[in-house]
Amino acid sequence: MSLTIPAGVPSMGTRRVVFIPGTVAAIDAITVTEATAGENISCYIMRSSGLNKTLTQNKIVDSRYCSAQDFQRFGSKSKDMSLGYSTNLGSPEDDAARLALVEGTDGVLVEFFQVDEDAETFAVGDWYQATPITLGEQFFPPVEDNAIDRITQEVAVSGSWTQLTQLVAGA
């Protein structure tokens, strides 16, 4: 029997992030039109620390009188998120992320996976995860050697997020 190694897809350059202000009709069935109408902030997001996401899934201890073993069940989940993105205060056409991600704004942050690096549009079947959010305050971190100006921003997860799903057709 020979070893078969499945093909891998590089993550660098194949992710996109779109902010859709307000709400979408169905978070688990976002349409190409909704995604396209959002603000594509992909090229503003910093690669190493621009989209920080963590998921905590708590466990419930299930101790039964009749057993010497403690069992576990999954309990509540918590997703935490923050953003880091470039800014260019002197050029509004190069500052779309700062202008779109205003403190207190509610919306849906959509992260696309395995999008061709040269793609500038979205299509039916593109894979995504979406999270309803409220944006926190924009903050300029201290100056760093060999770095560009950027903003960091906390994000409050304000609703249920999707698991991996695909864009659908629709108006």
Between CA 112 and CA 100, with CA 48 as vertex, the angle to 5 degrees is 55
| Average pLDDT of the chain, as a whole number | 94
Whether 4 maps to a domain, the answer reads: no
Its sign, for the CA torsion 157, 162, 167, 168, is negative
The range of the structural domain enclosing residue 54 comes to 16-166
pLDDT in tens, 74-94: 999 999 999 999 999 999 889
Q: How many domains does the chain have?
A: 1
**pTM of the model as a whole:** 0.90
In the numeric block, the tokens 């902030």 are attached to 41
pLDDT of residue 1 exceeding 90? no
H-run or E-run covering 23: none
Percent of the chain with pLDDT over 90: 85
Whether 71 maps to a domain, the answer reads: yes
Predicted pLDDT at 171:
66
pLDDT in tens, 36-50: 999 999 999 998 889
